[in-house]
Amino acid sequence: MQLTGPEILRRMQNKENPDIVIKPFDARCLGSNSYDLHLADTLRVYKHTIPKGMRPAIEYSGRPEMHSMRDWFELKYGNPVLGDVDIESWYYRDYLNHPEKYDIRNPRYLIDPTNPKHHETIDIKIPETGLILSPDVGYLGATVEYTETRNLFPYIDGKSSVGRNFILNHHTAGRGDDGFCGEWTLEIRVLYPTVVYPYMRIGQIYYEEFNGQRMPYNENPHSHYNGQHGPTAAAVVPVDKFLADAQQKQK
């Protein structure tokens, strides 16, 4: 059973042991059966997935007509001794001549979920003027809001206006856990080059009741993300060898 907006508020008002904590909280963000969440001002991308010379995002000028494909490429100073003094378009020209080097479908940019080195990230600050995201890049974002949930099942989803701009705010992991405490990491993808702004409304959090004995996330020694702050990279995905052993025994 999903909680209504007034019930979310009621569950927050138990001063000693509230079922729901949302910080910061503003009643203007409380909906019929959800609470609006906002995008924090830092994104992270996996360093391994960005081709050398390419920008993972572009600071928005406020004028789309002022931007072009060249903006995705870093400046590179030429060598005057060789007569090359172009400081703007070397990487872009290289892209035109060797597009496969900059194509994220190239296996050189693969992610190995079991390799912690592939989870090393670089930070991107979202300026107040906005940041243009690329359809070719996956971004880790975070909610401004810190939440705690007890005795309930929390989950997040996109707002309809965000979805209708083809911004996906969680690629797969929109479900939380009873007992989770922390900011929410967002797996953001866009369909077109799309501008995002710090503190824009990026999604909604919902709460549902559940049946059964509690197994709180914050008391589970195997939980990876409790207390997370800011965009949090993936934990190493385990390969459970015991399953292979069990299958061998069945043969």
Q: What residues are annotated to the active site?
A: 187
Residue whose pair of structure tokens reads 């360093």 in the numeric block: 47
Distance CA 8, CA 155 (A): 13
Beta bridge partners of 194: 133
Written in H, E and C, the secondary structure of the chain is CECCHHHHHHHHCCCCCCCEEEECCCHHHECCCCEEEEECCEEEEEHHHCCCCECCEEECCCCHHHCCHHHHECCCCCCHHHCCCCCCCHHHHHHHHCHHHHCCCCHHHCCCCCCHHHHCEEEEECCCCCEEECCCCCEEEEEEEEEEECCCEEEEECCHHHHCCCEECCCCCCECCCCCEEEEEEEEEECCCEEECCCCEEEEEEEECCCCCCCCHHHCCCCCCCCCCCCCCCCCCCCCHHHHHHHHHHC
